[in-house]
Amino acid sequence: MSGAGFIQLRLTGPRFEDGQIPLEFLGDLAALREMIIDVARWRFLQENPGRHRVPKGFAESVSLNLAGVEKGSAAPIIPYVERAMDSVVDAISSTGSDEGADVGLEPSHLAHFSRVGRGLKDGEAMEFGFPGRRPARLTQETRHRLLSKATANGIINREARYDVEFRGNQLVEANEVSLLDPLDVSARLEEFKNMKNGWFEGDGIAPSPDGLDWLASEFKRQYADDAPSPRLYPTFEGGVQAEWSFGSNAIVLEIDLSERTADWFWFDRDSDAEEERRLNLDDGDEWVWLANEVRSKAGTE
């Protein structure tokens, strides 16, 4: 790719014709930044086999800043990391033209499409443009194909990656954390208390210990004993992500510890069906709904 240093992201569809970006769509842009960072780290470590971690402050070099909006469509101009963005755009482009194409990214990278493009409606698209090449279009159809590749093994799962991350960050090297049972919710959340800000290569906010205590207590008190347990992962924003997988069904629950809310996302890679919902985790009825949905997707109702 050329060294222009910018990528143009155009949002097409009736909602964007007046040049405005709906506030609810900004979360998709934040998720896009996280995906770029993830792929950029992967590319760096691939090209530097003697390195076990990226340079300190690596993530700070990736910024998604709104530099301008063109009339007639909503088009943020985004500074980007060239190699990583090339990989993401190539994946979108190849999947759009050939459903069976090898997209060149790991399933853990493609799992970011559970959030990137989630705000798109029918007839809308995110177009990634570079000088001299045809824009790559991310639509709900393309997004579903990418998610199908991510869940081809039955799960949107980063277990192995996070084990490596924990061994590769400064704190874990000093404390030798070992995970005995990844489905033990209380033990997993207690483990997260050892994390510090910058837990992954200088990036990542540590979850609040008080928030983790609250979540552990609520899971024990509110989540049904006979409902399948999730795998838990820390998020870069200081939250917790819970994941379940049952055949073609993948469930992601993004938990905000400070707000005590969660965003539920379910995707069936066979039918391309999906659902999303915002949960208030201070409401016991929401926990009942969560357990019922998990049991339903697991086929254990």
Model pLDDT for residues 59-69, shown as the tens digit of each residue: 665 655 544 44
The predicted model gives 227-255 an average pLDDT of: 88
Q: How far out from the chain centre does Cα 280 lie?
A: 21
For residue 151, what pLDDT band results from cuts at 50, 70 and 90? Answer: low
Helix axes 140-150 and 82-97, enclosed angle (nearest 10): 100
What is the distance between the alpha carbons of residues 75 and 66, in angstroms, rounded to a whole number? 9
Stronger pLDDT, 157 or 40, i.e. the higher one: 40
Is the pLDDT assigned to residue 168 strictly greater than 70? no
Q: Do 115 and 24 form a contact (C-beta atoms < 8 A)?
A: no
What is the distance between the alpha carbons of residues 241 and 25, in angstroms, rounded to a whole number? 20
- Core vs surface per residue 117-137: b (16+ CB within 10 A) or e: bbbbeeebbbbbbbeeeebbb
275 DSSP β-pair partners: 266
Q: What is the pLDDT of residue 233?
A: 85
Is the pLDDT assigned to residue 297 strictly greater than 60? yes
In the sheet where 6-12 sits, what is the strand order? 77-79, 6-12, 125-130, 133-138
Is the pLDDT assigned to residue 230 strictly greater than 70? yes
pTM of structure: 0.54
The predicted model gives 183-190 an average pLDDT of: 81
Tokens at 264, concatenated: 């539920």
Q: What is the pLDDT of residue 247?
A: 81
For residue 100, what pLDDT band results from cuts at 50, 70 and 90? Answer: low
